[in-house]
Structure 1
Amino acid sequence: MLSRIVNMKETYSFAFNFSMDEYYEFLSEQHSEELLPNTILQLIAAVFGMFGNTLVLLLYGKYIQDKSGSRYFIPALAFVDLVGCLSNAVHYYLDDTVYYNYPGLSLCKTLYFLILFTGGFSAHLILVIALQRYLFICRPFGQQMTKKLRRISVSIIFLFSFGYSLPSSRLIGRELISNELISSQQVISCRSNDFSFKGHRVMIWYLGILLLFILLNIGVTSALYIPVIRVLYKSFSHGTPNDRNHRDYNANTRSEERRISDMENIDMEERPKQDVRRNNFEHCNKSIDDRNRKLKARQRITIMFLVIIIVYIASYLTTLVTQIFAFAERSVMDLKGYRLNILYFCLRFNLLNHIANPYIYWIFDIKCRQELRKLSRYCIFKH
């Protein structure tokens, strides 16, 4: 592909007397036209993601009280997803529009680092969430994650993600200087900074290590959540007997109330005994209602995190496998039309993980929906 670009450069330079700047601008325009559908789709998706994560930060940070600690990691995950949406959107837009002459080398390295860092941080945080749900659901009487342990886990995830994302600043981004007759011009490529065979192998090894981290993360997350799913399935399968017992209690209570109301000539000394029995039935009904409500809330939160894990696995596996395939088979980058757009869509599918999470919260978390309704009513009445 590089030799093809050099030949094109020589052809256009001699035929049209292009300068280096004009030549790369021409190539970038062609590239931008090819990927216009992808660019529009990614910008729309990023706007939805930034809006959703900003709202989640507002709701969970200010309005929703988390006494049990089950929602502790949601604000941190929303913040990371917000930064991930922003960095991915900016980099992808620049990559589509100024592919052959990036605006700045530091900008290239920073955005690439943020993409890897936020992606890794989000993935490892989901693993810790799976561990928390496993301890809470499958080991309810064992050691749980205290607030101190949750803070330590976030710090460890930060350092670990920062560590393996940092080498990208050395491997990505390169300045190409062209010495022409009149002046020297500088072109920045936001790609591997070493086009030699050795640099090519280093990048494959680096991407391979990242893929290994993600696969291990996916494996551990799945191993922790499979027992949670089993417990969740059992709780659903036992839902009918609980409902039947609840109906039996209600029937007994109504029968008891009718019997008491019909006994007009009952002795006054016996009436307090009947009242005590009725209060006992009412207390049983209330306790069953509370237990069923807590069980359903626990089920919804568990399903919510399950959907988050499924979206995370699908998005990251698609991106990393496609990226390694594209780097190993450089000829796929010569694709045109809809094939090129499909390739780039798969390469950037990890953006879905940063976008989908806030909307998953809104679907499954009742508290989040309630506070969202209150906030929307407040905004409507205020205006």
Structure 2
Amino acid sequence: MLSLNEATMEPPNKNTQDTFYYRIPALVFLGLMSALGIFGNASAIYIYGFRFKQSNVHLLITMLAVSDIISCLFCIPMEMYRVFAFYNYSSIAACKAEGFFIFACYICSVLMLLTISVERYVKVCRSTGTQASRKMAKILAGAVFFVSFLLAVPIAVFAKPQTYMLHGGRSVQICSYHYEPEQWSCLVSLFVFLLCVFGVMSALYWRVIKTTRSHVTWSQQRRTQFNADAINGRTQTPKSVAKKNILSKTNRTVIWISAVYAASCIPVFIVAGVSKFVTLLKAENSLDILFFLVMQSWTLNCTLNPIVYGVLNSTFRAEICGLLKRSLLRGNSSSVESNQTDPSESV
């Protein structure tokens, strides 16, 4: 990813000759992630945007899916080209476009997740207070996209193919944001920013979980006060109920997609930091393969979200199954109609 591994654009073993085979696993991985993400996020946009009940959180999840599908349609294919032409990246326009779109979508995702966490906190923990209107939610979503693409402009300005020297004096060109020493300080600043965002989201979701648990316990206590069966122990106790179904489907979903985002970006920063301070001049090709695979882990945040939706939300799964069934039935009916010819045509 251009915006996160600018300090590590060259593989850990810079003294090796250009061998293509250790980039093949990364290319296969990116291809699979792109196909999975396009289908999954297109389904999420349709289901959350048009099938589910219109609400602020569903609108924000739809906008998150829009950002993710942009990544799958443009960012991942451009990243595949960068990995494929790693040592011979001569296109300045492609390098700038890749950096701009990847960084913009990456920041858009984290800001949208932060907005969702704030919306969930206000909805659950401040339910008696003023709630954001539908119009305000749309304005916030538009502001997230605008700010994200605005912050990505410097990447497009400074990104360009850089010349490196390999073992034996071979000159190669690698797409990089090479602007020392600012590039390393920018990388550290971005990492600190993401840690702060993850900390805020964790605190907000912890309050959501705590508030929801107290609501469930209180509701059950009120219910058992008027339930004669509770005396004989034939109903669940408040404690046992509080342990189950504490969070709604929507709250569980947004918490888990936030966790997936954190898990997808942390390995990139770890590899960037290790390669900055540790010189692996005698690395084996297996480390080169690991390098290229780990540096593509950022794609998980835009491709696995639909899987999280399906695993945690039974309604989403039902909508996906219905969508697939309708598509298959429509395809079968079209094939049957095409096979039915007019008898007069054969005369």
* TM-score class, shorter: 0.7 to 0.9
Give the alignment's Cα RMSD to 1 decimal: 3.3
| Structure 1 position 310 matched with structure 2 position 259 | yes
Q: Equivalent residue of 2:40, what SS?
A: helix
Q: 122, 128, 145: which is aligned to 2:109? A: 122
Q: 284, 287, 298: which is aligned to 1:336? A: 284
| Structure 1 position 152 matched with structure 2 position 139 | yes
Asked whether the 8 Å contact 2:26–2:296 carries over to 1, the reply is no
Change (3 A) 1:316 1:333: farther
Cα distance between partner residues in 1 of 2:122 and 2:320: 29
Q: Give the letter for the 2:21 counterpart.
A: E
Residue 230 of structure 1: aligned partner: 210
Change (3 A) 1:334 1:219: farther
Q: 184, 197, 207: which is aligned to 2:187? A: 207
Q: Give the letter for the 1:212 counterpart.
A: V
TM-score for the superposition, normalised by structure 2: 0.76
Q: Equivalent residue of 1:57, what SS?
A: helix
Cα distance between partner residues in 1 of 2:35 and 2:322: 23
Q: Equivalent residue of 2:180, what SS?
A: helix
Residue 30 of structure 2: aligned partner: 42
Cα distance between partner residues in 1 of 2:156 and 2:38: 25
* Larger fraction in helix: 1
Q: Equivalent residue of 2:130, what SS?
A: coil
Change (3 A) 1:297 1:152: farther
Cα distance between partner residues in 2 of 1:124 and 1:36: 33
Where does structure 1 lack aligned partners over 5 or more consecutive residues? 9-26, 177-185, 194-198, 251-291
Residue 4 of structure 2: aligned partner: none
Asked whether the 8 Å contact 1:83–1:118 carries over to 2, the reply is yes
| Structure 1 position 219 matched with structure 2 position 206 | no
Asked whether the 8 Å contact 1:174–1:191 carries over to 2, the reply is yes
Cα distance between partner residues in 2 of 1:248 and 1:335: 72
**Higher mean C-alpha deviation, range 129-138 or range 99-108:** 99-108
Asked whether the 8 Å contact 1:232–1:299 carries over to 2, the reply is no
Q: Equivalent residue of 1:102, what SS?
A: coil
Instruction: Spell out, residue by residue over 1:286-323, the C-alpha distance to the aligned partner (whole angstroms, 9 max, x if none).
Output: xxxxxx9xx96962211111111111112122223322
What is the correspondence of 1:339-378 to structure 2 with a 5 Å cutoff? 339-378=287-326
Asked whether the 8 Å contact 1:308–1:357 carries over to 2, the reply is yes
TM-score for the superposition, normalised by structure 1: 0.70
Residue 20 of structure 1: aligned partner: none
Instruction: Spell out, residue by residue over 1:10-65, the C-alpha distance to the aligned partner (whole angstroms, 9 max, x if none).
Output: xxxxxxxxxxxxxxxxx55x1x2122222212221221111111111222233323
Change (3 A) 1:301 1:248: farther
Residue 56 of structure 2: aligned partner: 69
Change (3 A) 1:114 1:248: farther
Residue 175 of structure 2: aligned partner: 190
Asked whether the 8 Å contact 1:204–1:324 carries over to 2, the reply is no
Change (3 A) 1:156 1:112: same
Tell me which stretches of 4 or more aligned residues in structure 1 moved more than 4 Å.
235-250, 295-298
Change (3 A) 1:373 1:204: same
Cα distance between partner residues in 2 of 1:307 and 1:246: 37
Residue 47 of structure 2: aligned partner: 59
Cα distance between partner residues in 2 of 1:48 and 1:317: 22
Asked whether the 8 Å contact 1:319–1:346 carries over to 2, the reply is yes
Asked whether the 8 Å contact 1:105–1:188 carries over to 2, the reply is no
Alignment length, in residue pairs? 304
Work out the percentage of aligned pairs sharing the same amino acid. 21
Residue 258 of structure 1: aligned partner: none
Asked whether the 8 Å contact 1:112–1:169 carries over to 2, the reply is yes
